[in-house]
Amino acid sequence: MPASRPAEFVTALLLAGGEGRRMSGADKGWLELDGVPLAERAAARLRPQAGALLISANRNLERYAALGQVVTDAAEFAGGGPLAGLEAGLSACDGDWLVSAPCDLPFLPDDLAARLMAPLLRGEAPLSVARCDGHPHPVCMAVCADLLPSLRAYLRGGGRKVREWQAQAGAAMVDFDDAPQAFRNLNTPDDLAAASRR
């Protein structure tokens, strides 16, 4: 799957449904970095890497709809965090594969999907997770759509931990040590200010 061509059989999912607790409850996707909302920056990175772009959001739905098809957390899994957003994305995914990333990573690598998909296409794992300098970035993952029943069962059992479910599903790690800045998370006002200064 060459990184230079859109992977038409892969669906991308931008996770923007968080509560923004460390941003005083703000919708992080619409916080601006140098005048451009974080969601727009992340979507622009993801869109060329997939055949379709879904946006997991639970507020400002009309605004997010300008970026892609919006999916919302199922009532059954309300409060389920990123895994609830992933469940919504997998439920709406038309193809066999989904690649997800959060909206507060505006510097995502342009080969994120290709590299995460590699172990899945080789049949080594049904799920892969980005890792950089030894640190996993669990919400940056590629998932086989066949894992949807497993994810639903985990959520219905009260599970909410992304890394726990990934371990149960047999996740492979994909190293991005060559792109440390790509995984700079903008979680707080200080993070946003520092990124703007750079």
Q: What are the pLDDT digits (tens) for 46-85? A: 999 999 999 999 999 999 999 999 999 999 999 899 999 9
- Give the pLDDT confidence score for residue 34 in this predicted structure: 86
84 is in an annotated binding site: no
16 is in an annotated binding site: yes
Q: What number of residues does the chain have?
A: 198
Q: And the tokens for 164?
A: 């726990």
- Give the pLDDT confidence score for residue 197 in this predicted structure: 46
pTM (predicted TM-score):
0.89
pLDDT one-digit tens code per residue, 180-193: 788 877 565 555 55
* Rounded distance between C-alpha atoms, residue 194 and residue 183, angstroms: 14
17 is in an annotated binding site: yes
| Architecture per CATH, 7-196 | Alpha-Beta Complex (3.90)
190 is in an annotated binding site: no
* Rounded distance between C-alpha atoms, residue 165 and residue 89, angstroms: 16
15 is in an annotated binding site: yes
Residues 6+ apart with CB under 8 A from 130: 112, 115, 116, 136, 137, 140, 141, 174, 176, 183
Give the pairing type, strands 127-132 and 172-175.
parallel
Residue 2: how many other CB atoms lie within 10 Å: 8
Q: What is the DSSP string of 71-123?
A: E---GGGTT-THHHHHHHHHHH--SSEEEEEETT-TT--TTHHHHHHHHHHTT
Among 128, 154, 137, CA closest to 15: 137
Residues 6+ apart with CB under 8 A from 176: 109, 115, 130, 131, 132, 182, 183
Q: What average pLDDT does the segment 156-170 reach?
A: 97
- Residue 198 is classified by DSSP as -
161 is in an annotated binding site: no
